Every structure is written in C-alpha cells, then in structure tokens.
C-alpha cells in the first residue's frame, strides 16, 4: 500500500501523513529528508520532531532515499517519507547534471516488491507564478514530474488544503 500526500507549504500535509501512519497500526520508520543547514531550518526540524510519537524510529536521509527504501521496504512496517520534494531539492543541489527521469525510475523500482506500507509527503509547487531563472524552472518541472510518476504508482493520493484532504485517487477518508 503506497500513499502520496500532496500539499502546499504549511498546508497540514505532514500532520495528515502522520495520522495515516498512526492509523496503520504498524511500527513506524520516519525518513526525514531535511538537513539543518541554518538556524531556521533547525528550528523547523525540531518543531516537527516534537509533534511525532516518541516510539517512532527516525532515519535522516537527505540523498540516499532509493537505497534506504529498497532495504527498509522489505520489512512489515510503515515508512513515512517527509518529504520527497526536499529530497529532490537535495539531489538537484548536489547532482544537478544527473538524469532525473532515471533517478525517478530507480525510486519507483525500489518500491517493486515492498512488504511495507509507505506514505510519501510531497510539495505542490507549480500553482503560482514561476520565478525567473533556470534553477527554479527545473525544480518546478522535476518536482511535478516526480509527483506524477509517484501518483501513477500510488494506491492513494490526497491533496491537502488547510489540513483537510481532497481524494485524488483511491478510497476517500
């Protein structure tokens, strides 16, 4: 069972995804893709951490998501990836010249024989004016492509606004 939780900044998508994880009644592995590059980011990470159950396992994974999912998805657990778009951002920063279509193929393939319940959180970033500059456009393009690829593979897809879900795919909650 693979779920994708889409939403804007501060839309409540992380909290909604955390509720899905809790409802799975499985042990939860939380995969954090954020890294504390500055004080503001560190504060955001701490803010999120204090809202999660203490018994959840946490794994920091700014870049090696494909390898981590290939390994961890073999276990009967719930994996919560928060968030996919930040992982993409990290990939764009560290390996800007790579073939992203191929990277997304690898990500989808890592889910092939999953024994786990996996919940992905991702940002919707394409609904405003796209800023000038090639980097911003590439980011919007690849983030959109990644969301489409994963939505195709997912069993459930939600769009979150103000903490409330619209169901794009699968049974409504």
Sites of contact with a second copy (CB under 8 A): 4, 6-12, 40, 122, 124-131, 134, 136-137, 139-141, 143-145, 147-148, 150-152, 157, 159, 161-166, 168-169
What lies within 8 Å, CB to CB, of 163 at 6+ separation is 11, 12, 15, 16
As measured in angstroms, the least distance from the Cβ of 122 to a second copy is 8
As measured in angstroms, the least distance from the Cβ of 9 to a second copy is 4
As measured in angstroms, the least distance from the Cβ of 32 to a second copy is 19
Q: Would you list which residues are annotated within the binding site? A: 7-14, 32-34, 60, 82
Query: Can 48 be counted among the known catalytic residues?
Result: yes
List b or e across 50-67, with b for residues whose CB sees 16 or more CB atoms inside 10 angstroms: eebeeebeeeebbeebbe
Name which of 68 and 89 has its Cβ closer to a second copy. Answer: 89
Q: How many Cβ atoms from other residues are within 10 Å of residue 96's Cβ?
A: 10
In terms of Cβ atoms closer than 10 Å to its own Cβ (0-12, 13-18, 19+), residue 77 is middle
Provide the CA 67 distance to its chain's centre, in angstroms.
15
Name which of 36 and 164 has its Cβ closer to a second copy. Answer: 164
Run of H or E including 124: none
Q: Would you list which residues are annotated within the binding site for GTP? A: 7-14, 32-34, 60, 82
As measured in angstroms, the least distance from the Cβ of 149 to a second copy is 9
Name which of 53 and 163 has its Cβ closer to a second copy. Answer: 163
Name which of 30 and 120 has its Cβ closer to a second copy. Answer: 120
Secondary structure letter of residue 95 according to DSSP: -
**Enzyme catalytic residues:** 48
């Amino acid at each position: 069972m693979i779920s994708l939780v889409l939403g804007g900044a501060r839309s409540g998508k992380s909290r909604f995804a955390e509720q899905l994880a809790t409802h799975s009644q499985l042990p939860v592995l939380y995969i954090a893709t954020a890294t504390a590059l500055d004080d503001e980011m560190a504060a955001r990470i701490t803010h999120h951490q204090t809202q999660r159950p203490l018994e959840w396992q946490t794994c920091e994974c700014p870049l090696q998501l494909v390898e981590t999912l290939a390994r961890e998805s073999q276990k009967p657990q719930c994996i919560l990836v928060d968030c996919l778009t930040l992982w993409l951002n990290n990939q764009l920063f560290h390996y800007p010249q790579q073939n992203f279509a191929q990277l997304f193929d690898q990500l989808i393939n890592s889910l092939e024989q999953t024994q786990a319940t996996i919940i992905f959180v991702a940002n919707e970033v394409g609904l405003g004016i796209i800023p000038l500059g090639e980097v911003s456009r590439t980011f919007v393009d690849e983030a959109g492509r990644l969301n489409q690829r994963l939505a195709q593979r997912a069993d459930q897809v939600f769009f979150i606004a103000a903490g409330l879900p619209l169901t794009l795919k699968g049974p409504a909650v």
